[in-house]
């Protein structure tokens, strides 16, 4: 197995490090040599002896000895060119590029099938948590009904800080930035797009569909206040950024939104920069995947697993159908906070110094909108 790694940032160099340190053990596992021939980046980060440094990705793609191209530069344009070129050259591809898979997965998988090679992307969802492969392979006997979880460690870290350290959103965000948790484009984390990319990938495989990523209803955590976190806590909930996808009557519901999760729930107790994915099935019922969602070696672990997977030579199929029937999940329980009482079908309520808090029964968002029309309010979903 001859490998070319394009992108030597945090995850890329971590991948090189693991492949170097664990070379003998990995070779024993798969029964063939594991050789990193190229490391490609704009600058040489100090590659181990024996690995060729290049700043020209074409050198990697044009080398007939290279079996596996690892794309770790990210983005939607240059990375797409690299991956398509690699696939068209008959090379397997491993990537952690969640945005690219979410937006252009259909095109990439069709190119892989056409050229009789694989593209693996475990590291694109949940960092080092093995969830893509188990959901696609180990749960094959099941019809997946719903996927739900915390898919962005940065927002979970911020929300955890707000609760445990009694901070407001801006203070918690500043700490997260100082620790390097926040993407250069902070909207990917704070506005929910990173989590949306990941739930899109999981939904694609769970329901065997391709769809336009822009159909996903996405709301981030900027509207979450310490006040509402405190009210939620008094009622036995924590606010988490929850991504979910499930089968509805005539569509697939997918959305990302701040959600009150019961403190008695496992998901409600996932704190700091950890991720959790819960998959509801018809035969094995609920399966949970939990672990760190980001980090040099955490994500590199998943990349290396995918590289080893190319040894099997069995092609992953993505013979899915395209659908435009992607809708928000509008029927839910809701948390409503207003400064005056409202008429709503509620399960429980709480009043404190002129503030009115409701946890509704499961109702349509349209009923909620009618009740809060013309009023100041905070509104979040509630996990049942």
Are 145 and 261 in a shared domain?
yes
Residues 96 and 10 in one domain: yes
Same structural domain for residues 61 and 184?
no
Query: Per-residue confidence at 184, pLDDT binned at 50, 70, 90?
Result: confident
> What pLDDT, on the 0 to 100 scale, is given for residue 149?
96
Task: Tell me how far CA of residue 349 lies from CA of 218, 225, 342, in angstroms.
Answer: 27, 19, 11
Ligand-binding site membership of 71 (annotated): no
Same domain, 116 and 145: no
> Three-class SS of residue 211?
coil
Catalytic site residue 292?
Answer: no
| pLDDT value of residue 151 | 97
Beta bridge partners of 148: 244, 278
Looking at the fold, whether 152 and 288 belong to one and the same domain comes out as: yes
**Could you tell me the pTM of the whole model?**
0.95
- 177 assigned ligand-binding residue: no
* Residue 315 resides in a domain: no
pLDDT per position as a tens digit, 17-35: 999 999 999 999 999 999 9
Is 342 domain-assigned? yes
Catalytic one of 37, 91, 198, 240: 198
**Domain span at residue 207?**
137-292
Look at residue 304 and tell me if it is in a domain: no
- How are the residues of the chain apportioned to helix, strand and coil, as percentages rounded to the nearest 5? 40, 25, 35
Neighbour-count burial for 342-376, b at 16+ CB within 10 Å, e otherwise: bebebeeeeeeeeebbbbbeebeeebbeebbeeee
Does residue 197 sit in the same domain as residue 247?
yes
Q: pLDDT at position 360, please?
A: 98
Tell me how many helices (H) and strands (E) the chain has: 13, 20
Tokens representing residue 24 in the block? 């003998």
Q: Which two tokens stand for residue 78?
A: 């240059």
- Residue 320 inside a domain? The answer is no
Q: What confidence score (pLDDT) does residue 308 get?
A: 97
DSSP string, 326-368: EE---EEEEEEEESS-----EEEEEEETTEEEEEE-SEEHHHH
- Average pLDDT on 265-276 reads 95
* pLDDT, tens digit, 9 for 90 and up, residues 70-129: 999 999 999 999 999 999 999 999 999 999 999 999 999 999 999 999 999 999 999 889
Residues 148 and 265 in one domain: yes
Please tell me the total count of domains within the chain: 3
Q: Residue 368: what pLDDT?
A: 97
Whether residue 200 is found in the same domain as residue 106: no
* Residue 323 maps to a domain: no
Q: Are residues 153 and 283 in the same domain?
A: yes
For the record, the structure tokens of 92 come out as 């397997």
Q: Which residues are within 8 A (CB) of 307 and not within 5 positions of it... i.e. 6 or more apart?
A: 1, 3, 15, 19, 34, 68, 70, 94
CATH of the domain at 214: 3.30.360.10
């Amino acid at each position: 197995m001859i490998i070319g790694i394009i992108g030597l940032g945090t995850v890329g160099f971590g991948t090189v490090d693991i492949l170097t340190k664990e070379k003998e053990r990995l070779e024993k596992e798969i029964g063939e040599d594991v050789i990193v021939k190229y490391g490609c980046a704009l600058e040489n980060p100090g590659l181990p002896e024996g690995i060729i440094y290049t700043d020209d990705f074409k050198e990697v793609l044009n080398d007939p000895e290279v079996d596996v191209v690892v794309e770790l530069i990210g983005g939607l344009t240059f990375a797409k060119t690299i991956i398509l070129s690699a696939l068209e050259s008959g090379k397997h591809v491993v990537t952690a590029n969640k945005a690219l898979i979410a937006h252009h997965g259909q095109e990439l998988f069709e190119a892989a099938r056409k050229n009789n090679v694989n593209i693996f992307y475990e590291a694109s969802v949940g960092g080092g948590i093995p969830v893509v492969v188990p959901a696609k392979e180990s749960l094959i006997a099941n019809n997946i009904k719903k996927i739900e979880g915390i898919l962005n460690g940065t927002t979970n870290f911020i929300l955890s800080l707000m609760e445990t350290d009694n901070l407001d959103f801006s203070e918690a965000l500043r700490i997260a930035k100082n620790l390097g948790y926040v993407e250069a484009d902070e909207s990917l984390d704070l506005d929910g797009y990173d989590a949306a990319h990941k739930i899109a990938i999981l939904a694609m495989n769970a329901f065997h569909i391709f769809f336009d990523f822009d159909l996903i209803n996405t709301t981030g955590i900027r509207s979450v206040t310490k006040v509402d976190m405190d009210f939620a806590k008094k009622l036995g909930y924590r606010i988490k950024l929850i991504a979910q996808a499930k089968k509805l009557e005539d569509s697939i519901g997918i959305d990302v939104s701040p959600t009150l999760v019961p403190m008695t729930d496992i998901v409600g107790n996932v704190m700091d920069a950890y991720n959790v994915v819960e998959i509801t099935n018809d035969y094995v019922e609920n399966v949970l995947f939990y672990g760190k969602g980001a980090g040099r070696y955490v994500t590199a672990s998943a990349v290396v697993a995918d590289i080893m997977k190319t040894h099997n030579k069995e092609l992953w199929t993505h013979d899915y159908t395209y659908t435009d029937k992607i809708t928000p999940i509008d029927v839910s329980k809701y948390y409503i906070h207003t400064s005056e009482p409202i008429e709503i079908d509620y399960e429980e309520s709480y009043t404190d110094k002129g503030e009115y808090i409701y946890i509704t029964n499961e109702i349509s968002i349209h009923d909620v909108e009618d009740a809060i029309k013309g009023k100041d309010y905070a509104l979040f979903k509630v996990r049942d």
